[in-house]
Amino acid sequence: MTKKTAVIAGASGLIGRRIAEQLLTDPQWAVTGLARRTQTRPGMQWIAVDLADQADVEKKLAGISATHIFYAARYDHPVEGKTEDVETNTRMLKNLLDAIETGGSLEHVHALHGSKWYGHQLGPVRLPLEEDGSARSPNENYYFEQDALLRARSAGKAWAYSSSRPHAFCDPSVDLPRSIGLVIAVYAAVQRELGLALDFPGNAKGYQARTQFTDLGLLARAIVWMATEPRCRNEAFNVVNGDNPRWCEIWRRFAAELGMPEGQPRAIKLADYMKDKGPVWDAIVKKHALRAPPLDKVALWAYGDYQFRPDWDVFSSMKKARVRGFAETLDSAEMFARQFENYRKVKIIP
């Protein structure tokens, strides 16, 4: 049986890891991971390369060919609310295509994008968010330049491309702080230590708003499906869990799962609120013999503020993926319960 060969850009990140895990369950795949620093993982090859450096890409990837590129890399993430580096993020993808396309075996390139494509982060938009019907965000975003690059490069070629548009990445991992699950779990531990309820950090209107999430295991399975399903050629797909709870509904379940009263919306800014809570967190870590980093390292509070700020509904349609064959759904409250249980297991929260 002829193997498919995958190159995963950004393979050390949360999404890249999940894509690698998914591919490695199938002996049909040979997997190479790209990251800026040397990594190890059984069953796959690693290459340390800086995709923003054309000379480094040409040197490190000389002679490398692949049938599939899974592009989950991004230039250093800016401060929440600031504009992404469009030029660098686009150049990184171009450098990789320049290196791999010359091998002549390329069949498919998948680019990880996101629901910011639609501009929902800027204010209310027409719902549901649809891949082929919703307006593109009016602000600058590297998604648009990468999409244009893939369209132009694949025109008339044997290879095709696809892209995914998830929302609010969720994963049980604890080593990267940009995680809404970690934000909620650690915030809850601090509130409980202070004898307080699990107050919602957003405003009262936001507490009633509908939201959505994307489990990264589900996302990885959807991405591999897109890259191998002929009906997905040259198409973009929303990828979310499939439910659309109000924050108040899911927050009530968080409180029960974490053993706390539900609390009320307080419209606090977590990046400010948590600034003086370091000693409280240190006491929690000591009391429960946790293996957790300091409060300013364990979770990215500005990311929590970004997630809790909208006081409008957000809902991505999954109809396009469903029609073409991806039917998987996931209950978001149950997903978070599993994450919280993992945080306890690895001694990040009590």
Q: Quick one: pLDDT at residue 79?
A: 57
Strand, coil or helix: 16: helix
Contact predicate 141/203, CB 8 Å = no
Q: Quick one: pLDDT at residue 1?
A: 52
**What is the rounded average pLDDT of the residues 310-327?**
98
Using CA atoms, how far apart are residues 177 and 77, in angstroms rounded to an integer?
12
Q: What letter does residue 81 receive in the DSSP assignment?
A: T
Maximum CA pair distance of the chain?
Answer: 64
Q: What letter does residue 136 receive in the DSSP assignment?
A: P
Q: Is the pLDDT of residue 67 over 70?
A: yes
Q: Is the pLDDT of residue 11 over 90?
A: yes
Q: Quick one: pLDDT at residue 332?
A: 97
pLDDT band at 37, cuts 50/70/90?
A: confident
φ and ψ at residue 316, rounded to 5 degrees: -95, 130
Q: Is the pLDDT of residue 82 over 80?
A: no
Q: What is the CATH number of domain 169-212+244-314+330-345?
A: 3.40.50.720
For the chain, what are the domain ranges?
Answer: 4-167+214-239, 169-212+244-314+330-345
Region of residue 218 (left: phi > 0; alpha: psi -120 to 50; beta: else): alpha
Distances (CA, A) of 258 to 25, 90, 126, 253, 345: 33, 42, 35, 9, 14
**What is the rounded average pLDDT of the residues 274-303?**
97
Q: Quick one: pLDDT at residue 39?
A: 83
Q: What is the pLDDT of residues 147-165, one digit of tens each?
A: 999 999 999 999 999 999 9
Mean pLDDT for all residues in the chain: 95
Topology given in CATH for the domain delimited by 4-167+214-239: Rossmann fold (3.40.50)
**What is the rounded average pLDDT of the residues 129-144?**
95
pLDDT band at 81, cuts 50/70/90?
A: low
Q: Do domains 4-167+214-239 and 169-212+244-314+330-345 have the same CATH topology?
A: yes
User: pLDDT > 90: what percent of the chain?
Assistant: 92
Q: Is the pLDDT of residue 2 over 70?
A: no
pLDDT band at 78, cuts 50/70/90?
A: low
Contact predicate 34/73, CB 8 Å = yes
Q: What is the pLDDT of residues 200-238, one digit of tens each?
A: 999 999 999 999 999 999 999 999 999 999 999 999 999
